[in-house]
């Protein structure tokens, strides 16, 4: 259960892209008041009076903080009477502080050179805190009460939508409270503040700036999420698990998959499929979706004809439509496609706890190794036992999700972490639901303009036909030349195979054709330039297999690919430079392929000069 107000008002502010540790936000109270006392000490009689009021404000805010820390337990226990009393007392304290800082002495002090900006900042931050306590606190705790596990779970599996409908009613009030608080601190010029004041006020501003967009997004997206959960009728979704050991642009070979059915929150699992399910004669080696010739030119001719290759495109909606097309041939109509990888599963198991499959306990710590490595070592011959294990693991995790008991707020954090790592995607047939996926950053759609962001993308596809990329490490670096108005995107890859007992299904089957060993990786590196940009340079030219180099257009954007042989123990870098179009451009953002391990992404300082602060 969260233990500070900002924890309660929105999902945990720990996001992988920022990697900030969790911290308690209320210590800014002491910093604010301490800063005021420092700067008004020399103001004579008025200063003494103002200092006295500052101490009163400090006492009020400290008292509010103390009482606030006990409220989460009251919510968890369902003690409405005690919560109402505590909330009323907290509001009384912040109301007193708010009334004090809006008095004439504080207004007078804001006009004093040197002192004024600090006093004004303290006043505005205190007013913002009061707005949140007054307008967001009661509704935030109402939300926590609504998502209590005893209320949101169906005994047979699924989620009771009624509590979420209650949340839909109260979220707009919280959204407005954060918008008002944000407006209150919007004009604070932190460059003019004393360090002690800036540190304290800065924390308030950061809380508001980070939380307000999240609350606003939740307010807009939750009604659509209820539709996705079957509030307006039964839905059928295709869920794929991308295997990063045989890497693809958005994760990996989508060998394991399942259909799930949702109606009014109740979730049931349908048919499961494996890498061989779609190999029936009527479906094998067939293309079921028309694709632009200029996009087809960017990939090998196997891409649209075999389901294992559908995810070679970094534009996830294209992959999803391909699955929609082949499923339609089987008579199955779907409402959407979800994708995740074993690393995302590991994040989820941190919340749900372990599952047992064929006598093997799968935990957050070992599920990636078991699914992407140990299974192939355990079954060195036929693919069928491995596919059966994947299916059983998928079913066990699914059952744990829909029936097990776990903390919804922690699960939101786990999913957000996976989304930040570009491991979770969703596509929907309905336009408003697809817009919600885009709002949440999980649509996987390539940007088609530079209005909100200037997106670069560099992706990896396995061409060796094996599971060697379990041993792949990658990092991405983006640098810019402001004078040349260019951006260079590079991916550095290392083959760190450390054993000699790799089995047939792991070893690369096609690398010997291009002069490599079976422990080498044959990797197709696909770069997609920003909209309107032109690709000026690629290094190395032609790659290690020039016959496999390709050019094309993906979602209206110039794209190129080169293939490299990455031998055991070797490190290589592939870099693309593109010249940006004229005109205003949004801040830089980066798309990349998630590997088994984390992918560090660095952005050069010149990119900020050219494009502003990086997005996200």
Express each pLDDT in 561-582 by its tens digit. Answer: 999 999 999 999 999 999 999 9
pLDDT above 70 covers a percentage of the chain that reads 88
Indicate if the pLDDT at residue 94 is higher than 70: yes
Looking at residue 147, what is its pLDDT? 66
Q: Is 558 a member of any domain? A: yes
Query: Do 199 and 340 have their domain in common?
Result: no
Check: CB of residue 334 under 8 Å from CB of residue 320.
no
Looking at residue 273, what is its pLDDT? 85
Q: Is 441 a member of any domain? A: no
d(CA 107, CA 102): 7
d(CA 443, CA 419): 10
Query: Do 242 and 220 have their domain in common?
Result: no
Q: How confident is the model at residue 155 (pLDDT cuts 50, 70, 90)?
A: low
Query: Do 173 and 241 have their domain in common?
Result: no
* pLDDT tens digits along 436-459: 999 999 999 999 999 999 999 999
Looking at residue 149, what is its pLDDT? 65
* pLDDT tens digits along 317-338: 999 999 999 999 999 999 999 9
Looking at residue 446, what is its pLDDT? 98
d(CA 347, CA 364): 6
Indicate if the pLDDT at residue 54 is higher than 90: no
Query: Do 146 and 278 have their domain in common?
Result: no
Q: Looking at residues 538-554, what average pLDDT do you find?
A: 96
Looking at residue 275, what is its pLDDT? 67
Q: Is 563 a member of any domain? A: yes
Burial (0-12, 13-18, 19+ Cβ within 10 Å), 597: middle
Q: Is 261 a member of any domain? A: yes
Q: How confident is the model at residue 214 (pLDDT cuts 50, 70, 90)?
A: confident
Looking at residue 301, what is its pLDDT? 92
Q: What is the mean pLDDT of the chain?
A: 87
Output phi, psi for 126, to 5 deg: -65, -45
**Separation in Å, CA 270 to CA 5, 259, 369, 596:** 41, 5, 27, 28
Indicate if the pLDDT at residue 6 is higher than 70: no
pLDDT above 90 covers a percentage of the chain that reads 59
Q: Is 47 a member of any domain? A: yes
- Domain end: 196, 228, 260, which one? 228
d(CA 109, CA 43): 9
Q: How confident is the model at residue 130 (pLDDT cuts 50, 70, 90)?
A: confident
What residue numbers bound the domain in which 596 lies? 447-611
Query: Do 224 and 320 have their domain in common?
Result: no
Cα 87 to its chain centre, rounded Å, is 33
Indicate if the pLDDT at residue 382 is higher than 80: no
Q: How confident is the model at residue 238 (pLDDT cuts 50, 70, 90)?
A: very high
Please choose, from the candidates 83, 88, 40, 81, the residue with its C-alpha nearest in 3D space to the C-alpha of residue 63: 88
Query: Do 64 and 111 have their domain in common?
Result: yes
Q: Is 289 a member of any domain? A: yes
- Domain end: 173, 200, 228, which one? 228
Indicate if the pLDDT at residue 11 is higher than 60: no
CATH classification of the domain holding 248: 3.40.630
Q: How confident is the model at residue 306 (pLDDT cuts 50, 70, 90)?
A: very high
Window from 88-97, 553-562, 569-578 with minimum mean pLDDT = 88-97
- Domain end: 228, 259, 276, which one? 228
Query: Do 148 and 128 have their domain in common?
Result: yes
Looking at residue 476, what is its pLDDT? 98
Looking at residue 55, what is its pLDDT? 76
Of residues 36 and 414, more confidently modeled: 414
Query: Do 85 and 144 have their domain in common?
Result: yes
Indicate if the pLDDT at residue 45 is higher than 90: no
Q: How confident is the model at residue 76 (pLDDT cuts 50, 70, 90)?
A: low
Reduce the DSSP state of residue 29 to 3 states and report it: helix
Q: Is 616 a member of any domain? A: no
Q: Which residue has the tokens 């999700």?
A: 401
* pLDDT tens digits along 490-500: 999 999 999 99
Query: Do 545 and 459 have their domain in common?
Result: yes
Q: How many domains does the chain have?
A: 3
Indicate if the pLDDT at residue 44 is higher than 60: no
Looking at residue 408, what is its pLDDT? 80
Q: Is 440 a member of any domain? A: no
Query: Do 35 and 170 have their domain in common?
Result: yes
Indicate if the pLDDT at residue 260 is higher than 90: yes
Looking at residue 102, what is its pLDDT? 87
Give the DSSP per-residue string, 582-614.
SS--PPEEEEE---SS---EEE-HHHHHHH-SP
Query: Do 556 and 459 have their domain in common?
Result: yes
- pTM as predicted: 0.85
Looking at residue 27, what is its pLDDT? 45
Q: How confident is the model at residue 78 (pLDDT cuts 50, 70, 90)?
A: low
Query: Do 177 and 283 have their domain in common?
Result: no
Q: How confident is the model at residue 1 (pLDDT cuts 50, 70, 90)?
A: very low
Indicate if the pLDDT at residue 162 is higher than 70: yes
């Amino acid at each position: 259960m969260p233990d500070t107000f900002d924890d309660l008002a929105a999902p945990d502010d720990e996001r992988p892209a920022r990697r900030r540790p969790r911290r308690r936000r209320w210590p800014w109270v002491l910093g604010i008041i301490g800063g005021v006392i420092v700067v008004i000490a020399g103001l004579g009689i008025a200063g003494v009076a103002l200092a006295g009021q500052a101490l009163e404000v400090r006492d009020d805010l400290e008292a509010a903080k103390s009482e606030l820390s006990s409220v989460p337990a009251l919510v968890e226990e369902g003690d409405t009477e005690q919560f109402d009393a505590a909330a009323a007392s907290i509001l009384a304290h912040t109301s007193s502080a708010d009334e004090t800082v809006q008095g004439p002495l504080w207004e007078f002090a804001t006009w004093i050179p040197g002192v004024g900006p600090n006093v004004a900042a303290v006043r505005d931050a205190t007013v913002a805190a009061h707005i949140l306590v007054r307008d967001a606190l009661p509704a935030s705790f109402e939300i926590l009460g609504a998502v209590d596990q005893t209320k949101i779970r169906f005994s047979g599996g699924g989620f009771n939508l009624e509590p979420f409908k209650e949340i839909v009613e109260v979220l707009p009030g919280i959204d407005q409270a954060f918008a008002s608080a944000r407006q209150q601190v919007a004009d604070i010029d932190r460059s003019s503040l004393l360090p002690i004041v800036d540190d304290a006020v800065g924390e308030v501003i950061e809380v508001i700036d980070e939380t307000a967009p999240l609350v606003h997004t939740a307010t807009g997206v939750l009604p659509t999420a209820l539709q996705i959960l079957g509030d307006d009728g039964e839905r059928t979704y295709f869920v794929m698990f991308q295997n990063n050991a045989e890497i693809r642009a958005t994760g990996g070979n989508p060998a394991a998959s399942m259909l799930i059915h949702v109606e009014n929150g109740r979730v049931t699992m349908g048919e499961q499929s494996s890498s061989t399910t779609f190999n029936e004669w009527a479906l094998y080696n067939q293309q079921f979706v028309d694709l632009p010739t200029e996009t087809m030119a960017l990939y090998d001719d196997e891409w649209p004809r075999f389901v294992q290759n559908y995810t070679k495109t970094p534009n996830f909606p294209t992959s999803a439509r391909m699955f929609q097309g082949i499923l339609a041939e089987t008579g199955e109509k779907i409402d959407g496609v979800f994708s995740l990888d074993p690393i995302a599963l590991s994040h989820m198991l941190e919340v749900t706890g372990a599952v047992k499959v064929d006598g093997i306990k799968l935990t957050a710590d070992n599920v990636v190794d078991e699914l992407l490595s140990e299974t192939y070592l355990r079954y060195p011959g036929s693919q069928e036992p491995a596919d059966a294990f994947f299916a059983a693991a998928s079913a066990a995790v699914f059952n744990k999700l829909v029936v097990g008991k776990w903390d919804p707020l922690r699960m939101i954090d786990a999913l957000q972490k996976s989304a930040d790592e570009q491991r979770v995607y969703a596509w929907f047939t309905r336009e408003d639901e697809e817009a919600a996926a885009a709002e949440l950053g999980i649509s996987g759609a390539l940007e088609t303009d530079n209005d909100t962001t200037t997106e670069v993308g560099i992706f990896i596809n396995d061409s060796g036909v094996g599971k060697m990329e379990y041993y792949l490490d990658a990092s991405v670096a983006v640098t810019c030349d402001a004078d040349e108005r260019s951006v260079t995107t590079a991916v550095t890859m290392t083959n760190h195979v450390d054993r000699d007992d790799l089995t047939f299904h792991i070893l690369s089957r096609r690398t010997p054709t291009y002069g490599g060993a079976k422990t080498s990786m044959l990797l197709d590196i696909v770069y997609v330039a920003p909209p309107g940009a032109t690709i000026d340079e690629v290094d190395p030219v032609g790659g290690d297999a020039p016959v496999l180099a390709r050019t094309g257009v993906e979602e209206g954007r110039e794209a190129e690919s080169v293939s490299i042989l990455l031998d055991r123990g070797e490190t290589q870098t592939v870099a693309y430079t593109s010249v940006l179009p004229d005109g205003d451009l949004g801040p830089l953002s980066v798309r990349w392929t998630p590997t088994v391990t984390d992918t560090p992404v660095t952005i050069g300082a010149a990119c900020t000069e050219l494009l502003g602060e990086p997005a996200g």
